[in-house]
Amino acid sequence: MKIIVLLACAFILLTSCATTSSIAPYGKDSYILSVEDMWGGKSSGKLQVKAAQEASEYCAKQGKVMRVRNTSGQGVQGWTGTSSNLIFSCIDENDPENIRPNLKKEADTVIEDRR
């Protein structure tokens, strides 16, 4: 019985841990933040939420708001490790860029017509 409890506790600990990188400069007025769950216990979507919360806190400490520039997620929850990257900027509340994000998925395949 003790072994089952220990294994259950170990499983919960391993599947609930997500590591966050430090926020690093990523071009002019932009930053990158990566969140990773090496055991795949959290979906990349949940990791994106965690990254957005941390980025918002980072910008709030500067008296600014967070503006998403790009996001990406990888991995399959429960099968592989999962990760999420967030590229963002900290902008003033009254900045003209402070609008609803218009996020678009970039094409995985590009077809070139050479006629």
Domains of the chain are: 26-91 (3.30.1490)
Mean pLDDT of the chain: 78
Which residues does residue 109 pair with via DSSP β-bridges, in sequence order?
none
pLDDT at 54 (0 to 100)? 92
Does residue 48 or residue 19 have the better pLDDT?
48
pTM greater than 0.75 (yes/no)? no
Alpha carbon distance 63, 50 (integer Å): 20
- Measured distance CA(102)–CA(81) in Å, rounded: 28
Predicted confidence at residue 46, as pLDDT, reads 81
- What percentage of the chain reaches a pLDDT higher than 90? 22
| CA pair distance 7, 62, nearest whole angstrom | 43
pLDDT at position 39 over 70:
no
